[in-house]
Amino acid sequence: MKLSEKLQKLRKENNITQEGLADKLNVSRQAVSKWESGSAYPDTEKLIQISKIFNVSLDELINENSIDSGNKQSKKISFMEILNEVLEFASRSVNMFLAMKFTEKVKCVFEMIILVLIIFGCAFLSTSIMVDLIRRILLFLPDEVIYILCNLFETLLFLAWIVLGVIIVIKIFKTRYLDYYVFVTDDSVSKKTIEEPIKELKEKKDYKVVIRDPSDSSLNIFKKIGKLFIFMAKCLCFLIAIPLVLLFIFCILMLVFSLFYLFNGIFFNGISIAIIGVIIFIYLMIEFIYNILFNRSHLVNRIFVMFIGSLFLIGIGLGLSFASISNFTYEENSLKEVNTHMIEMRDDLYLSNIIYDSEIVIDNNLDNIKLEVTSYGINEVYLYSYNSYDSVNGEYRVVELASDYNEIDLYREVINNLKDRKIVNYDRYYDIKMYISSDNLTKIRENMNKYSGYIWYSE
Write the CATH number for 58: 1.10.260.40
Residue 240: enclosing H or E segment and its boundaries?
helix 220-263
The stretch 424-434 carries a mean pLDDT of 82
**Pair (340, 422) in one structural domain:** yes
CA 87 vs CA 45, 177, 357: distances in Å = 34, 17, 80
Structural domain span for residue 147: 90-210
* Beta carbons of 284 and 303 less than 8 angstroms apart: yes
The stretch 237-252 carries a mean pLDDT of 88
Q: Which of 43-57, 232-246, 276-290, 421-435 is modeled with the greatest confidence?
A: 276-290
Q: Is residue 82 part of a domain?
A: no
**Pair (424, 358) in one structural domain:** yes
**Pair (116, 190) in one structural domain:** yes
User: Which of 165, 176, 193 has its CA nearest to residue 111?
Assistant: 176
pLDDT for the residue 384 = 85
User: Which of 171, 173, 161, 159 has its CA nearest to residue 122?
Assistant: 161
**Pair (25, 67) in one structural domain:** yes
Q: Is residue 269 part of a domain?
A: yes
**Pair (425, 371) in one structural domain:** yes
**Pair (205, 291) in one structural domain:** no
pLDDT for the residue 280 = 92
Distance in angstroms (rounded) separating the CA atoms of residues 113 and 181:
21
Q: Which amino acid is at 397?
A: R
pLDDT for the residue 435 = 92
pLDDT for the residue 211 = 43
Q: Is residue 111 part of a domain?
A: yes
**pLDDT higher than threshold 70 for residue 343:** yes
Q: Is residue 226 part of a domain?
A: no
**Pair (341, 319) in one structural domain:** no
CA 288 from centroid of its chain's CA atoms: 16
User: Which of 188, 192, 163, 186 has its CA nearest to residue 92?
Assistant: 192
**Pair (402, 427) in one structural domain:** yes
Query: Following CA atoms 189, 192, 197, 198 in sequence, which dihedral angle do they give, to the nearest 10 degrees?
Result: 60
**Pair (36, 50) in one structural domain:** yes
Percent of the chain at pLDDT above 90? 4
**pLDDT higher than threshold 50 for residue 206:** no
**pLDDT higher than threshold 50 for residue 212:** no
Angle between helices 102-137 and 143-173 (to 10 degrees): 160
Distance in angstroms (rounded) separating the CA atoms of residues 425 and 412:
15
Q: Is residue 167 part of a domain?
A: yes
255-266 burial, b at 16+ Cβ within 10 Å, e below that, comes to beebeebeeeeb
Local confidence band at 209 (pLDDT 50, 70, 90 cut-offs): very low
pLDDT for the residue 184 = 46
pLDDT for the residue 110 = 85
Cα 318–Cα 322–Cα 324 angle in degrees, nearest 5: 115
**Pair (431, 356) in one structural domain:** yes
* Beta carbons of 392 and 299 less than 8 angstroms apart: no
Q: Which of 36-50, 209-223, 368-382 is modeled with the greatest confidence?
A: 368-382
DSSP-based three-state secondary structure for 359: strand
Q: Is residue 172 part of a domain?
A: yes
Compute the mean pLDDT over every residue in the chain, rounded to the nearest whole number: 77
pTM of the model: 0.41
Q: Which of 153-167, 222-236, 240-254, 296-310 is modeled with the greatest confidence?
A: 240-254
Local confidence band at 268 (pLDDT 50, 70, 90 cut-offs): low
**pLDDT higher than threshold 60 for residue 207:** no
Top-confidence residue, 369 or 459: 369
Q: Which of 88-92, 349-353, 362-366 is modeled with the greatest confidence?
A: 362-366
pLDDT for the residue 249 = 92
DSSP-based three-state secondary structure for 205: coil
Q: Is residue 76 part of a domain?
A: no
Percent of the chain at pLDDT above 70? 81
Distance in angstroms (rounded) separating the CA atoms of residues 289 and 162:
27
Q: What values do phi and psi take at 215, rounded to 5?
A: -70, -15
Q: Count of domains in the chain?
A: 4
**pLDDT higher than threshold 80 for residue 210:** no
pLDDT, one tens digit per residue, over 146-166 is 888 788 878 877 888 888 888
User: Which of 278, 328, 329, 325 has its CA nearest to residue 306?
Assistant: 278
**Pair (35, 120) in one structural domain:** no
E strands in 102-249: 181-184, 193-197
**Pair (162, 97) in one structural domain:** yes
pLDDT for the residue 451 = 78
Q: Is residue 24 part of a domain?
A: yes
**pLDDT higher than threshold 50 for residue 120:** yes
